[in-house]
Amino acid sequence: MASVSVSSGLNKTLRQHYLSLPQRGLCQVTYVWVDGSGEGLRNKTRTLDREPQGLDDIPEWNFDGSSTLQAKGSNSDMYLNPVCIFRDPFTLDPNKLVLCEVLEHTRLPAETNLRSDCNKVMEKVKEHIPWFGMEQEYTFLGTDGRPYGWPSNGFPAPQGPYYCSVGADCAYGRDIVECHYKACLYAGVKICGTNAEVMPSQWEFQVGPCEGIEMGDHLWMARFLLHRVSEDFGVVASLDPKLMTGNWNGAGCHTNVSTKDMRAEGGLQYIEQAIEKLSTRHAEHIKVYDPHNGQDNMRRLTGLHETSSILDFSAGLANRGASIRIPRQVGQERRGYFEDRRPSANCDPYVVTAAIARTCLLDEEEDEI
C-alpha cells in the first residue's frame, strides 16, 4: 500500500472543535492563484470584517512572486486581483475561496497570467455563446510517488476491470473522490460528474457546461479543491499525462465544445466546419495543449491507449482514438457538440479554450494562437 503523509494522521475530531467556534461576524477569505510553473496552485488567507457580497468587497492583495517562480527577489511584490468567488467547503460559511489573477507591480497581467488573454478572446466570441465542458483525468499517488493502492514491488492486474468499477479490488480511493465531489458542489463549482478511469487509481471528474471564461475559472478551482481534499487524506493527486510507462492509459483533459449554432437544429454542419478549421492548425494546438510545448503530450498521444497520434489530425464518429470525436448521439440528432481529445491532464484550461475559440470562431487576422 502506498504511504500517506504524516499530517493526515492528525486528530481530525480535535480539529472539528476549533472549526465549530463562532467567528463573531468576521470572515476568512482564501486567495487562490496559479503559480509560475503553470501547473501549481498557491493560496493564503486573510480576515475581512464582514462576509463579502461580491468581488468589489474583496480587496486586492499581494504576495512574494520570487517564491512562486513569478518574479525576481529584487522586485518580488506581485498583486492578486480577485476574479471569481466560491464558498469555502473546509471552513464553511461565511468563509470564501477567491480565485485570483496575478498582476505585475505595474498592475498589468503577469507573464504567467494566461487568464487575461483568454478573457479577451471570449469577449470577442461572446455572440456565439460558446459552452465548454472539460473532463479532468488524474491519478492518486502515495507520498512515495507510487500510484495509490498499487503493490509496492510490483503491478496490479492489467487494465480491464477498473473503468467505472466497484469493489475493493478495483476502485482505489473512492472516499477521496466522493469528498471532492461534495466539496465542489458546496463551493459552487460547476462539477457535473465523476468516474473511475481505465488505469487503477486513476479517476476523472467533469466540469461544465461553462460559458466562455467561466470554464477556466471553475476547472482551476476544482483542481485546487482536489489537491486540498487529497491533502486531508494524505495522498497526492497527480495530473501527469503519462504517469506510468508501458501498457497503462495516460491522463487527458478532453474538452467538449459547442456554440449556439451547433446546439441548434442542423448544428452538425457548424461542428463539421469547426473540425475542418481545427484540422489546419493541428501543430499549433498541440504546442499549447500542455504546459511544456507538446512535450508532455508526446508521451501520451501515441495512437495507443485510446489516444490519437500526436503527429496526425483525425476526426470520427464515436471514435476515442481520434483527435476530435463526434459523440454518436450528436451524429444521430445532427446537432450538439464535439470533443477535442488532445489536451493533456495538466493543460491550462484558459489556453485550451482560447485556442479553440480563436481557431473556430475568429477571422484569420484575429485568430493567431
Tens digits of residue pLDDT in 250-305: 999 999 999 999 999 999 999 999 999 999 999 999 999 999 999 999 999 999 99
How many CB atoms neighbour CB 21 within 10 A? 7
Q: Where in the chain is the domain with CATH 3.10.20.70?
A: 6-112
How many CB atoms neighbour CB 53 within 10 A? 9
β pairing state of 324-326 and 315-317: parallel
Confidence of residue 227 (pLDDT cuts 50, 70, 90): very high
Share of the chain above pLDDT 90, in %: 94
Residue 1 scores a pLDDT above 90: no
Taking alpha carbons only, the member of 366, 111, 145, 359 closest to residue 255 is 359
Query: What homologous superfamily is domain 6-112 in, according to CATH?
Result: Glutamine synthetase, N-terminal domain (3.10.20.70)
DSSP secondary structure letter of residue 252: B
Cβ atoms of 253 and 307 within 8 Å: the answer is: no
Strands (E), the chain: 27-34, 41-48, 61-64, 77-87, 96-103, 131-141, 191-196, 202-211, 236-238, 253-258, 315-317, 324-326, 338-340
How do residues 113-133 score in pLDDT, each as one tens digit? 999 999 999 999 999 999 999
Nearby residues of 283 by Cβ (< 8 Å), 6 or more positions away: none
Residue 72: per-residue pLDDT = 86
CA max distance for the chain: 60
Q: Where in the chain is the domain with CATH 3.30.590.10?
A: 121-366
Taking alpha carbons only, the member of 45, 53, 37 closest to residue 100 is 45
* Architecture of the domain defined by 121-366: 2-Layer Sandwich (3.30)
Residue 280: per-residue pLDDT = 97
- Residue 346 CA to residue 309 CA, distance in Å, equals 18
Mean pLDDT, rounded, of the chain:
96
How do residues 43-99 score in pLDDT, each as one tens digit? 999 999 999 999 999 999 999 999 999 998 778 999 999 999 999 999 999 999 999
Confidence of residue 367 (pLDDT cuts 50, 70, 90): low
Residue 364: per-residue pLDDT = 63
Residue 107 scores a pLDDT above 60: yes
Residue 74: per-residue pLDDT = 78
CA distances from 41 to 34, 222, 254 (A): 5, 11, 21
